[in-house]
């Protein structure tokens, strides 16, 4: 088959949508190398992503499209899709070209979440309008929709009125590097590099209101936990709210913030933690949960949303708004080596559900079923 991807975020985005795009392209190319894969992007930047021999980068060929690349991505791209004789065009990040029906290719779109509709208070009005316009159009014109969790599938049906028969759930995987055991030397290097204690509780994610780090901090302080808490992630204005709380509830240097941890250091960071806590209110999948399970660290996360799909029976769950419940869950895990050991064992087992060979096969089945 000739399969095309909207590769903008594969080349340009360092976070979740970029990781999903790179992972999808890599898996299909590796496990199904007889296909040809076409990467559509206005910029062919090789800093984040290096195409392999069966991947071909396509940039705007029409003069007007080259001058206005955003126009090309939404409208002019169907000329290039047609020229490459694609069988499938896959929008990897919630969007499809408005003109995709003129291309002759079957279209697939991955919808990651509809948090902007479920929790509109976390988004600016104009952003909500743009997202709704793009997402709803993509779902309407796509031949098939991929949801990254059952929770996202339910939201697509509920908020956008899409027939559930049009939606397939295909889970994500994460980088296999998280399965590799970090050497003692690597862990020591990370500890020194980021000035960390020998053991700690780990939070990892953007420091924004929806991801709920302040509730974790409150639970941590209320339980008088001695083991340090490490907060890793990109700061937003929400950090000011956290800092204000810490001024009113000082506990010395037991809570640490690190905002610029390199991606290559994350596996060793996870593996150095006693427990990983992901108190987010809502996500589409919750990839850090899977990274932690692969890394062999116990996971505590939230009830509701997709988290029980991602964490399975390996994780412990608590109400993200209930400070007392979160604190008790945290102390129960910290105080029981046997509980942590069992959680780690279950994590390795549950993680097999998301092994890349399974994810690649599920993606390919979506494509093949569209063509037959």
What digits encode the pLDDT tens for the residues 129-148? 999 999 999 999 999 999 99
Q: Which whole-number Å values give the CA distances from 79 to 120, 216, 223, 326, in the listed order?
A: 36, 50, 61, 53
Tell me the backbone φ, ψ of residue 180, rounded to 5 degrees. -80, 130
Residue 361 has, within 13 A of its CA and on its CB side, a CA count of 6
363 has pLDDT over 80: yes
Higher-pLDDT residue of 206 and 47 is: 206
70 has pLDDT over 90: no
CA distance 123 to 129: 10
46 has pLDDT over 80: no
pLDDT for 153 equals 98
Q: How many CB atoms lie within 10 A of CB 242?
A: 19
The residues, any chain, with a CB within 8 Å of residue 158's CB and separated by 6 or more, are none
336 has pLDDT over 80: yes
Between the two ends of the chain, the Cα-to-Cα distance in Å is: 12
- pLDDT category at 249 given cuts 50, 70, 90 is very high
pLDDT for 118 equals 94
* Claim to verify: residue 150 and residue 183 sit in the same structural domain: no
* Claim to verify: residue 162 and residue 241 sit in the same structural domain: no
CATH number of residue 328's parent domain: 3.40.50.2000
* Claim to verify: residue 366 and residue 283 sit in the same structural domain: no
Question: In a 10 Å sphere around its CB, with 0-12 CB exposed, 13-18 middle and 19+ buried, how is residue 319 labelled?
Answer: middle
Angle at 84 between CA 83 and CA 86, to 5 degrees: 115
pLDDT tens-digit readout, 299-318: 999 998 899 999 999 999 99
* Claim to verify: residue 194 and residue 245 sit in the same structural domain: yes
Higher-pLDDT residue of 278 and 174 is: 278
Higher-pLDDT residue of 12 and 1 is: 1
Pull the structure tokens for residue 73: 């991505």
* Claim to verify: residue 223 and residue 331 sit in the same structural domain: yes
- Strand 167-169 vs strand 255-258: parallel, antiparallel, or unpaired? unpaired
pLDDT for 52 equals 86
* Claim to verify: residue 102 and residue 68 sit in the same structural domain: yes
Q: How many CB atoms lie within 10 A of CB 45?
A: 10
- pLDDT category at 65 given cuts 50, 70, 90 is low
Q: Which whole-number Å values give the CA distances from 179 to 262, 285, 297, in the listed order?
A: 18, 19, 11
* Claim to verify: residue 209 and residue 232 sit in the same structural domain: yes
Q: Summarize the confidence of residues 163-191 as an average pLDDT.
A: 95
The residues, any chain, with a CB within 8 Å of residue 40's CB and separated by 6 or more, are 4, 5, 6, 7, 8, 58, 59, 73, 77, 80, 81
* Claim to verify: residue 279 and residue 208 sit in the same structural domain: yes
The residues, any chain, with a CB within 8 Å of residue 192's CB and separated by 6 or more, are none
73-87, 142-156, 206-220: range with lowest mean pLDDT: 73-87
CA distance 53 to 113: 32
The residues, any chain, with a CB within 8 Å of residue 180's CB and separated by 6 or more, are 267
Average pLDDT, the chain: 94
* Claim to verify: residue 209 and residue 149 sit in the same structural domain: no
pLDDT for 73 equals 86
CA nearest to 167, candidates 179, 188, 151, 184? 151
Cα 181 from chain centre: 22
pLDDT for 252 equals 87
pLDDT for 331 equals 97
Pull the structure tokens for residue 40: 């559509």
Q: Could you give the number of structural domains in the chain? A: 2
pLDDT tens-digit readout, 256-287: 999 999 989 999 999 999 999 999 999 999 99
* Claim to verify: residue 65 and residue 6 sit in the same structural domain: yes
Q: Summarize the confidence of residues 91-103 as an average pLDDT.
A: 95
Domain of residue 121 covers 2-173+355-371
Lay out the sheet containing 316-318: strands in order across: 255-258, 229-232, 201-204, 275-278, 299-302, 316-318
pTM of the model: 0.91
Question: In a 10 Å sphere around its CB, with 0-12 CB exposed, 13-18 middle and 19+ buried, how is residue 139 labelled?
Answer: buried
* Claim to verify: residue 151 and residue 185 sit in the same structural domain: no
pLDDT for 193 equals 97
CA distance 292 to 275: 9
pLDDT for 33 equals 96
* Claim to verify: residue 233 and residue 256 sit in the same structural domain: yes
Element (H, E) at 301: strand 299-302
pLDDT for 144 equals 98
């Amino acid at each position: 088959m000739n399969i095309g991807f909207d590769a903008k975020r594969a080349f340009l985005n360092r976070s979740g949508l970029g990781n999903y795009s790179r992972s999808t392209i890599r898996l299909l190319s590796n496990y199904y190398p007889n296909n040809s894969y076409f990467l559509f992007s206005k910029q062919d930047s090789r800093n984040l992503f290096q195409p392999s021999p069966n991947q071909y980068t396509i940039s705007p060929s029409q003069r007007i499209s080259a001058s206005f690349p955003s126009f090309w991505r939404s409208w002019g791209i169907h000329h290039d899709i047609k020229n490459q004789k694609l069988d499938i065009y896959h929008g990897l990040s919630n969007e499809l070209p408005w003109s995709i029906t003129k291309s002759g290719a079957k279209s697939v779109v991955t919808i990651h979440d509809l948090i902007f509709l479920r929790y509109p208070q976390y988004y600016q009005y104009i952003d909500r309008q743009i997202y709704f316009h793009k997402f709803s159009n993509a779902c309407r014109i796509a031949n098939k929709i991929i949801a990254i969790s059952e929770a996202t599938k339910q939201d697509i049906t509920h908020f956008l009125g899409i027939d559930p028969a049009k939606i397939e759930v295909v889970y994500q995987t994460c980088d296999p590097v998280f399965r590799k055991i970090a050497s003692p030397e690597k862990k020591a290097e990370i500890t020194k590099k980021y000035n960390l204690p020998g053991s700690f509780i780990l939070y990892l994610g953007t420091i924004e209101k929806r991801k709920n780090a302040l509730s974790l901090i409150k639970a941590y302080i209320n339980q008088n936990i001695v083991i340090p808490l490490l907060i890793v992630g990109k700061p937003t204005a929400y950090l000011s709210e956290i800092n204000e709380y810490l001024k009113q509830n000082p506990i010395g240097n037991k809570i640490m913030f690190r905002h610029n941890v390199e991606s290559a250091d994350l596996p060793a960071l996870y593996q150095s933690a006693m427990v990983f806590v992901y108190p987010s209110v809502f996500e589409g999948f919750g990839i850090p949960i899977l990274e932690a399970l692969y890394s062999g660290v116990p996971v505590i996360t939230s009830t509701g949303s997709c988290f029980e799909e991602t964490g399975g029976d390996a994780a412990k769950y608590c109400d993200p708004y209930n400070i007392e419940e979160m604190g008790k869950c945290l102390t129960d895990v910290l105080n029981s080596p046997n509980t942590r050991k069992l959680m780690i064992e279950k994590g390795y087992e549950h993680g097999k559900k998301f092994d890349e060979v399974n994810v690649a096969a599920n993606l390919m089945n979506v494509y093949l079923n569209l063509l037959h």
